[in-house]
Amino acid sequence: MKTKRGNALIVSLIMLIVISGISVAALMIITRQSRSTDWNYRNTRAYYAAETGIEMKVSKVNASGITNANLQLLTGALDGAAYETSFIDWSKDHADNNGNGQVDEAGEGGYFWIDSTGTYNGARRRIRATARFNPASVPQPFGAVNLYNPKDANGDVINGTLVNFSGTKPPHIDGRDTNFPANLTDFGALKSSDVTLGSGPLRPLAGVATHDNQSVSDVAKEIAKNPDRVYGIKPTAYPGSLLADYFFSTTPPAPVYAGNSIANVNAFDPNGAVDIVNSANYYASFAQNKYNATNYPTGNAVFGTLADPQITYIDNTTTTNVKLNGKISGVGILVLKGNIDFGGTFNFAGLIFCIAEQDSIVNMEPVELMGTPLIMGSIYAASVKTNYVGAPIVLDVRGTPDVFYSSEAIDKARQALQNLGKINILSASEIGVF
């Protein structure tokens, strides 16, 4: 009997030990699951807080502008979680962020990271958003028409006019700063006869600004039929330094010079053909209106208004000729590439970029302005092609347009950029879990 009782006791103890072990194991599993669930919850709350930090930073900057205060460290709370958000400017962080081998170079300007760390009850998550500011500025013209010639493999300028004035008489190109008529609401209805030349506050620019002396001579030959149709300051009036004070002060205008207001501004203008083409492509990437050889407007079209300036991009680097024969008007920025003919009524206020950059198309037809278009602001014609047959032509003026420099119209181009918002988020990813 005693042996049986001893065996029963041993079996009971073993069963108790096994049951206790199972209970402890189960308790440990439940505890781990509870801890895991709690940790996941805290991590999720921290992640959402980090996301909110980025959203709040973007919203704050877009609402009130890019100020020093808005670019400082931003902290806040979200239902008990906290976030801390900072800016890292690519052009000032002493790093090669775009991977081109250069540190803090011009190509990194306008790009930045928004780093946001969210915390909740010991959990921390960090998100990095890659973003850029929408371009807030445009090139300051040196003339009503600005010509930027390409360079060859040795870096030498390929001389040429870039423009062809083949109409019955040259266009009327005027570098005097000119405002819109008072109470103007529809730029598409404006006529050149309604404009008071020189009504703007700034000193006159050149009529045609070029980047090489050969183009000065070539343009002068182009307008020789009626040389008094190009107005601006005398070429000899240019000082030997950057023209910011000279061109853009509010000093009463100097006497306007007609007949040969064509100047080589290469020594004063910090931009070259590559800069202008890159800028035009950058603006085009923000365009609200995008056209090519397959979808261009075949009738009337409006590319922005005085109340709502816009960016328009027409890209036709094909052998098909795009013909815009309707009533076309626009305000803002217009980027043009390739075979594009404006054959109807065409009024535009702001900046027009006519650019050529594809070496694969040797004899590509240029942008053609036919009829009597009215352009207030400034035209840029720039090429980075190197394999032209004959002189490079980017802008072909078959009609007799009026091109009037206007700082008021340039402001409309800036407004077209600013209307797009201040910040664009390009991508975002998590870079840390703590």
**pLDDT (0 to 100) of residue 153:** 73
Residue 387 has pLDDT above 60, yes or no: yes
**pLDDT (0 to 100) of residue 127:** 93
Query: For all residues of the chain together, what is the average pLDDT?
Result: 80
DSSP SS3 for 320: coil
Residue 27 has pLDDT above 70, yes or no: no
Residue 271: partners with Cβ closer than 8 Å, 6 or more residues away: 139, 148, 279
**pLDDT (0 to 100) of residue 83:** 92
User: Across 35-93, where does the E strand assignment appear?
Assistant: 74-78, 81-89
**pLDDT (0 to 100) of residue 24:** 61
Confidence band for 302, pLDDT divided at 50, 70 and 90: very high
Cα separation, 207 vs 223, whole angstroms: 12
The whole-number average pLDDT for the span 41-69 is 82
The whole-number average pLDDT for the span 244-272 is 67
Q: Which residue has the higher pLDDT, 211 or 37?
A: 211
If one counts every other C-beta atom within 10 angstroms of the C-beta of residue 360, the result is 8
What residue spans define the domains of the chain? 1-133, 143-418
Confidence band for 286, pLDDT divided at 50, 70 and 90: confident
The CA-based angle 82-434-130, given to 5 degrees, is 70
Cα separation, 298 vs 319, whole angstroms: 18
| pTM score over 0.75 | no
> pLDDT digits over 126-181, tens only?
999 988 776 657 888 989 999 998 877 777 777 777 787 777 777 889 999 999 99
Cα separation, 103 vs 97, whole angstroms: 8
**pLDDT (0 to 100) of residue 252:** 46
**Are the C-beta atoms of residues 422 and 121 closer than 8 Å to each other?**
no
The whole-number average pLDDT for the span 354-373 is 71
**pLDDT (0 to 100) of residue 195:** 93
Lowest mean pLDDT among 57-61, 328-332, 366-370: 366-370
Structure tokens at 25: 């194991």
Residue 23 has pLDDT above 70, yes or no: no
Residue 395: partners with Cβ closer than 8 Å, 6 or more residues away: 162, 163, 164, 354, 366, 367, 369, 379, 381
Confidence band for 434, pLDDT divided at 50, 70 and 90: low
The residue among 413, 403, 433 whose CA lies nearest residue 144 is 403
**Are the C-beta atoms of residues 269 and 211 closer than 8 Å to each other?**
yes
The DSSP bridge partners found for residue 352 are: 334, 379
* DSSP element (H, E) containing 230: strand 230-232
**pLDDT (0 to 100) of residue 334:** 94
Lowest mean pLDDT among 27-31, 174-178, 233-237: 27-31
